[in-house]
Structure 1
Amino acid sequence: HPLLFMDIPSAEMTKYAANSMLATKISFMNEIANLCEIVGADVNMVRKGIGTDSRIGPKFIYAGVGYGGSCFPKDVKALIKTAEDSGYPLQILRAVEQVNNRQKSVLVDKILHHFSGNIQDKQIALWGLSFKPQTDDMREAPSLVVIEQLLKHGARIKAYDPVAMEECRRRIGNVIEYAKDLYEALIDADAVVLVTEWPEFRLPNFKVMEKLMRSKVVFDGRNIYEPAEMLENGFTYYSIGRKPVVPTEY
């Protein structure tokens, strides 16, 4: 990276603008993903298509359950506040924030739809708690919204994350159960909900999953599985911006 010299206001604006631009790309793709589901398109194909355009590029255009962490939410809010204080409301960034907040509820909406609106006493396995892999950071993590809403609807949750379970326990206590590994979380589960794309979740043993789960239903908030593979293994599969896979329909 080049070393640039600039005045302090420009340096501050550069930092806020960079993270806000990346957050904008994420929210834009999540909007496109939701529209893809309505019109029958596949957001992964759309992502690959637009990513070949060098003006857009392949980074930060993955659909999912929203961004979190310490940087994107904070810097988007800071830039919105700076603009408001300066008498120039930023309409685009307001929309970016609104879309991201809504996107964190998308998986819960899919879960409720699958179970006809009633998840009282349903056992839900939750894979991933941190806002992204390779950290235990749960600031603004989508998992917190998913947990809150599932509990509000009466579901029971057993969660697993490679490193963030102590942080989760510190934040919300023992309102959910914590599993020793990804497979223990699946025991008697009515569904598994993937929120964080940790590497160990990418290649699970589907035969073991089938034996442990009460019903073979997967809600993938990061699109890490291929629909054809889920169909082949007999799983009902919901992802973001793609057509659901329901084996009985094939």
Structure 2
Amino acid sequence: MKIAVAGTGYVGLVTGVCLASKGHQVTCVDVDEKKVEIMRQGISPIYEPGLDELMQQNMLRLTFTVDYESAYKDAQVIFIGVGTPEKKDGSANLSYVYKVVEQIAESVERECVVVVKSTVPIGTNDKIETYMIEHLKNNVRVHIASNPEFLAQGTAVHDTLHASRIVIGAESDYAKTVLEKVYENFEAPKVITNRRSAEMIKYASNDFLALKISYVNEIANLCEIVGADIEDVTRGMGFDARIGDKFLNSGIGYGGSCFPKDTKALSWLASFNDNEIKTIKAAIEVNENQKFKLIKKARKYYEDFSGLTVAVLGLTFKPGTDDLREAPSLVNIPIMLEDGARVKAWDPVGVQNYKKIYPEEIEYCDSIQETLENADICFIFTEWPEVKQLDVMVYKALMRHPIILDGRNCYKLDAFANSGIIYDSIGRETIGW
């Protein structure tokens, strides 16, 4: 089928490339000419494992352009995959979505299906349909459908090609038939429903996972007080099929582009309609507090960071991505700098993005070893494989004071027994103190 995709971020670009890999002719539209030129060379402008290779394998079916009129005018299906960032009040900013809808309305010359893949509040697709009808330039029928994404950064290509489910929310038989055709080569359960239910499935799914993470983190905090081990606790919980063993890793909170904004958006939507989702409000509060867990732990060892050399391992919100959105490092490092610390940081892919925020205030290192040298304390914010595979005695050999605050529980406690290293993690016994 002839498909256009508006937006070439994580959702739009991954969707476009994966659809091309299934045999569709796909045109990806973006407003940034420089970004488009990079993509025309088969290079992804975002860091996502496997995306470059898949792009290069399917360049004959991929077109990249800033000319939205030519992309939309005769497309059978148009996916909207632009961002919906949160506003200051927690609601979703839909300005980018409506800008694309306006462009589609003035460009389309044939009957088509416009598919909203961006995460939008419940009822948005209905409003888009009204807006589209009001702004259509040509006398054609445009069907609006919801098709939320469930990809995770770092595994987005796999999550799209091997989806856990494909949710299609549509009001017309035409839209349902077309989207079933689009996804006929995808082996995944298909949930066909109305648009509002599809929109709610996305929010309910993401917010449930966020709630699960915050719950486990609260249990982990209590484990530290009562002398239990969170990893034994979650292992015991995970055998229960009703609970499952996914998203039971304790740590310093969730981040990224989805969970923070989606929890706030659903909470805002409920409040706007004189309702309250108390569990989601609690998850948001717990997560915000959890980000500072390591800073609070550090006060046991030093009153402040003045004059200290602080090693930071990991800047991104999780491994496998260069995304910094809502990363714990962003709220912790400013405290260290304000106290007068010398901050040395390592991250395999996130440094360039971090330099846009702190171009000179931080010493960026090329290796973990360089970062640890003569450090007084070490913070682990991201569980990169390079960190997890590190021989723990490297900390003892290189640091001036081997104090490790691990926000991602990268190591087994046994590794630090009689090591002369202080190892303080989440929800577990502190070793060496």
TM-score bracket for the superposition, by shorter chain length: over 0.9
Decide whether the 8 Å contact of 2:234 with 2:248 is kept in 1. Answer: yes
Decide whether the 8 Å contact of 1:112 with 1:119 is kept in 2. Answer: no
Decide whether the 8 Å contact of 1:132 with 1:197 is kept in 2. Answer: yes
Where does residue 334 of structure 2 map in the other structure?
Answer: 148
Richer in strand (by share)? 2
Richer in helix (by share)? 1
Answering whether residue 271 of structure 2 is matched by residue 84 of structure 1, we say yes
Helix, strand or coil at the partner of 1:126: strand
* Pick aligned residue for 1:112 from 260, 274, 299: 299
Q: How does 1:148-187 map to 2 (within 5 A)?
A: 148-187=334-373
Larger mean CA deviation between 132-141 and 165-174 belongs to 165-174
Helix, strand or coil at the partner of 2:344: strand
Q: Deviations over 1:166-201 (max 9, x none)?
A: 011112322211001111001110011111000010
Where does residue 242 of structure 2 map in the other structure?
Answer: 55
Q: Deviations over 1:112-142 (max 9, x none)?
A: 1222x23211111000001000100000001
Task: Write the distance in 2 (CA, Å) between the matches of 1:215 and 1:122.
Answer: 10
Decide whether the 8 Å contact of 2:392 with 2:415 is kept in 1. Answer: no
Where does residue 22 of structure 1 map in the other structure?
Answer: 209
* Matched residue count: 246
Helix, strand or coil at the partner of 1:119: coil
Deviation at 1:90, TM superposition (A): 1.3
Letter in 2 for 1:89: E
Decide whether the 8 Å contact of 1:41 with 1:242 is kept in 2. Answer: yes
Letter in 1 for 2:331: V
Q: How does 1:61-80 map to 2 (within 5 A)?
A: 61-80=248-267
Deviation at 1:5, TM superposition (A): 1.3
Decide whether the 8 Å contact of 1:69 with 1:131 is kept in 2. Answer: yes
Where does residue 391 of structure 2 map in the other structure?
Answer: 205
Decide whether the 8 Å contact of 2:418 with 2:432 is kept in 1. Answer: no
Where does residue 190 of structure 1 map in the other structure?
Answer: 376
Identify which of structures 1 and 2 has the higher relative contact order when contacts are C-alpha pairs closer than 8 Å and 6+ apart: 1
Decide whether the 8 Å contact of 2:291 with 2:331 is kept in 1. Answer: yes
Where does residue 123 of structure 1 map in the other structure?
Answer: 309
Helix, strand or coil at the partner of 2:192: coil
Decide whether the 8 Å contact of 1:83 with 1:90 is kept in 2. Answer: yes
* Pick aligned residue for 1:226 from 412, 423, 428: 412
Unaligned runs of 5+ in 2: 1-164, 166-188
Indicate the RMSD between aligned Cα atoms, in angstroms.
1.2
Task: Write the distance in 1 (CA, Å) between the matches of 2:200 and 2:394.
Answer: 51
Q: Deviations over 1:143-175 (max 9, x none)?
A: 111112222332221000000000111123222
Deviation at 1:91, TM superposition (A): 1.1
Larger Rg: 2
Deviation at 1:215, TM superposition (A): 1.0
Question: Structure 1 residues 7 and 140, CA, compared in 2 at 3 Å: closer, same or farther?
Answer: same
Answering whether residue 231 of structure 2 is matched by residue 35 of structure 1, we say no
Deviation at 1:228, TM superposition (A): 1.7
Where does residue 137 of structure 1 map in the other structure?
Answer: 323
Give the TM-score normalised by structure 1: 0.95
Give the TM-score normalised by structure 2: 0.56
